[in-house]
Amino acid sequence: MTEIKEHMEVIGADGVHVGTVDKVEGNRIKLTKKDSGEGSHKGHHHFIDKGLVAGVEGNKVRLSAAGAVAVTMEEEK
């Protein structure tokens, strides 16, 4: 998690854009609000558990789950 920095792109195992890192909070990656989606999700921060991180490649955080699956595992706050 120490390699994960602000503004890095988060992508699913399938290469789909999931979000942009706002910051790391404990064992979770907090995504920026601009990547929060539409409807009831709009304007909320979402989080991805560090357990889904497969690795860091350059300026991208690659997840072990496909983008659509990772999004369903996000947690609103």
Look at 12 and 76; give whichever has higher pLDDT.
12
Sheet holding 60-63, edge to edge: 47-49, 28-31, 17-25, 9-11, 60-63, 53-57
Burial of residue 76 (number of CB atoms within 10 Å: 0-12, 13-18, 19+): exposed
Q: How high is the pLDDT of residue 53? A: 95
36 contacts 46 by C-beta, under 8 angstroms: yes
What does 6-34 look like in DSSP terms, one character per residue? TT-EEE-TTS-EEEEEEEEETTEEEEPGG
Q: How high is the pLDDT of residue 5? A: 95
Q: What is the pLDDT of residues 26-66, one digit of tens each?
A: 999 999 887 655 444 556 678 898 999 999 999 999 999 99
| Domain residue ranges of the chain, discontinuous segments joined by + | 9-72
For 9-72, CATH number out of 2.60.40, 1.10.620, 3.20.20, 2.30.30 equals 2.30.30
